[in-house]
Amino acid sequence: MPLTPTADIVGPAHAGAYGVGAFNVVQIEHAEAIVTGAEQATLPVILQISENTARYHGSLTPIALASLALARAASVPVAVHLDHAESPELVHEAVGLGFTSVMFDASKLPYDANVAATREVTEYCHRAGVWVEAELGEIGGKDGAHAPGVRTDPGEACAFAAATAVDALAVAVGSSHAMLTRDAALDLDLIARLRSALDVPLVLHGSSGVDDADLAKAVAAGMAKVNISTHLNKLFTRTVCDRLRATPDAADPRTYLGPARDTVAAEVTRLLGVLAAR
């Protein structure tokens, strides 16, 4: 089917109080697994490509074109999203390639500078019909994100959304990027207050550190888009390691990357079901 606008996936989730999964692509096997998993679940999905991944590949274009092609060939709605872009130039490149949304991350800047930079990106993207996500609050390393003062204030979030005209907001509610254990303590009351205060969909970053039960609770409290990366990478890498231990003389990478791709596809199917349950 045609490439699906991110707004057409996240908007209904926001209105219908269910969640959609946004999974990060590192290499083509990830994109294939995510699309296959969504097709098996018969649910929409968002493929995400981060600035770090673009840097790993030397540029955004190769992995972007592969992901866009897979999205267009899928039997379920698939959007392609630029994740954690700190460079406006990379945003412009993604828009030119046909991405349906971008996440512009100026959260390291002081509040006023974050607003100004994000507003400029939003104006550019909206002229091209591209949906924009931004971040307010610190969703960083494990210790920082769990420090008592590191949370998104609902009043500030409302002011930020109004000033920047963003379409979605990633908020700091207790999760953290790159967690290897699923034991993050989410502030569900804060999620509910943010959902009540804001008109735009809420995005949960660092969801690899959140277990199934709390993912469901976070969606029930108001999260619409749920980003998961490290959890899938762990499964992918573990499967590769297991296959290489079992067949140490393997030379064909398809013999270990294929099973890893299948493992991730199955987990995407399962996670989409967790997020979509009402």
Q: Which residues are known to be catalytic?
A: 83
Task: Specify whether the CB–CB gap between 233 and 26 falls below 8 A.
Answer: yes
- Number of Cβ within 10 Å of residue 80's Cβ equals 26
Task: With H, G, I as helix, E, B as strand and everything else as coil, classify residue 90.
Answer: helix
C-alpha 30/C-alpha 83 separation (Å) is 15
Nearest to 272 by CA among 34, 72, 15: 34
C-alpha 250/C-alpha 256 separation (Å) is 8
Could you say which DSSP state residue 60 is in?
S
CA 115 from centre of chain? 21
